[in-house]
Amino acid sequence: MSKIPTVAIIGRTNVGKSTLFNRMIEQPKALISSVPGTTRDRNEAEVLWRAKIFRVVDTGGTDSEFGKEIEKATVDQVWRAANEADIILFVVDLKTGPMPQERALAKKLKTINKPVIVVGNKAETPNLVASVHNPEWRLAGLRSPMAVSALRGTGVGDLLDLIHKELRKIKRPSTERNEDPIVRVAIIGKPNVGKSSIVNAILGEERVITSPMTHTTREPIDTKIELNGKKYLFIDTAGMRKSGKVKRAGGLEAAGVARSKKAAETADVVLMVMEANEQIGTQDKAIAGILDSSNAGVIIVANKWDLVANKTPTTINDYEKYVAGMMPFISYAPIVFTSAKTGQRIENIFTLIDQVQAARTRELTEEELEKFLRQAVSHRAPIRGKVVKPPKALGLRQTGTCPPSFAVTIKAKREDAISQSYLRYIENRLHEEFDFTGTPVVVKARLPRITAV
């Protein structure tokens, strides 16, 4: 996706980088809190301005170097974003005045040889707006800050105009909005099952931070890529612990998990990452239940396959039967056995994503459905629901896609005349007869339409 020009937001902690990011993309995508280091990974999204688009990247604080591995990784992501960007937004806090860390940061930014726009955030009073002209803000010879209030939106339009102008100056003009279809792929799972490692293995770079520390990823992280002419948006999410633990933790973790669930609901395909070397627990089942009700396509990624001991030619089949028995409600999900550490079968994930997305959009013909229903009914007649007499199935038609949805027309006075177990039977038969790999199939009952004379 390198054709789209990129703008990176850089600065120390708590200067309002994520608030500015959300304001520019006009949605609350990045988590915001007063906790230093809330943002760790690079978070990116597209900005539409003057009928053109560019990519903006939010980053963690550059002063997160306190010796901990996770903080060093955060800073590493900052400089990766800076080096890949076309323009850098250097955000400072007008309320605090220039800090020693910012003077050092300004000197380092000068060495990158990229256009730098200094953004004076939190300009909520006339005095703060005027303060950008103070000589103390001429950091390392950079231009005086442009006063904005990301919280209120003041000055952000002027900032976007300046970005647009600078991109044209360096011959990286914002591109026209591309309406080509893109597949949204969310990566979901418990903490420390290797979700971020899977993302990095897929992308072939250290795009997101990995650490044995629980809740390393705090918010969904979007990354767009293009492969063989197809576009994908990968969304790495926060690990989902048991709801009781999340409630007790509260704060950032609760917010991150809520956004993980939202990512699953809005995704086309979800990669449910599990540890192949560990037993399936109650939380895995709970996550599978969330995915089953999300209507997204599902692929189970059995990660850490390299750690499974004493493998035999039947180990994969045995594991597939084990998963189907433990989580029957997503038995339609294919399983890919991977190792993010060694790269084993990572390339197979793209093939499965394409297959699942094709299944989600598949449409069956009337002839196919008529033949299918005739065979299904002959094998097992409709079972009555909340009525005395069993209903008669008159027809089956497809009512939608993503996921594939169908309506069984029944001869009865009420729709609940047919049992839910029989509708599930039809769903299972559809999975058996047609290529609906990885996607839920929804079947509902309908009464015959009454045509007015």
Look up residue 44 and give its two tokens. Answer: 């990116």
Q: Are residues 222 and 314 in the same domain?
A: yes
Residue at which a domain ends, from 310, 336, 360:
360
pLDDT band at 133 (very low <50, low <70, confident <90, very high): very high
Q: Say how far apart CA 345 and CA 278 lie, in whole Å.
A: 19
Q: Are residues 227 and 146 in the same domain?
A: no
Its pTM stands at 0.66
Number of domains in the chain: 3
Q: Is 120 within a domain?
A: yes
Q: Are residues 284 and 317 in the same domain?
A: yes
pLDDT at 250: 46
Q: Is 316 within a domain?
A: yes
pLDDT: is 412 or 208 the higher one? Answer: 412
Q: Are residues 129 and 61 in the same domain?
A: yes
**Mean pLDDT of all residues in 317-340:** 94
Nearest to 5 by CA among 234, 163, 228, 220: 163
Q: Is 345 within a domain?
A: yes
Range with the poorest average pLDDT among 24-33, 224-233, 273-282, 379-388: 24-33
The CATH number linked to 161 is 3.40.50.300
Q: Are residues 197 and 244 in the same domain?
A: yes
**Mean pLDDT of all residues in 247-270:** 69
Residue at which a domain ends, from 116, 151, 176:
176
Domain range for 63: 6-176
pLDDT at 293: 84
Q: Answer yes or no: is pLDDT of 91 > 50.
A: yes
Q: Are residues 349 and 418 in the same domain?
A: no
pLDDT at 451: 46
Q: Are residues 335 and 221 in the same domain?
A: yes
pLDDT at 156: 92
**Mean pLDDT of all residues in 394-417:** 91
Nearest to 332 by CA among 424, 266, 445: 424
Per-residue burial over 347-366, b if 16 or more Cβ lie within 10 Å, else e, is eebbebbbbbbebbebebee
Q: Are residues 150 and 242 in the same domain?
A: no
Q: Are residues 229 and 131 in the same domain?
A: no
Q: Are residues 239 and 328 in the same domain?
A: yes
Q: Are residues 292 and 441 in the same domain?
A: no
Q: Using CA atoms of 403, 181, 236, 10 in order, give the dihedral in degrees to the nearest 10.
A: -150
Q: How many Å separate Cα 47 from the centre of its chain?
A: 18
**Mean pLDDT of all residues in 354-365:** 95
Straight-line distance from the first to the last Cα atom of the chain, in angstroms, rounded to the nearest whole number = 57
The CATH number linked to 425 is 3.30.300.20
Range with the poorest average pLDDT among 172-176, 210-214, 219-223, 309-313: 210-214
Q: Is 434 within a domain?
A: yes
Q: Is 89 within a domain?
A: yes
Q: Is 66 within a domain?
A: yes
Q: What is the mean pLDDT of the chain?
A: 84
pLDDT at 249: 43
Q: Are residues 267 and 118 in the same domain?
A: no
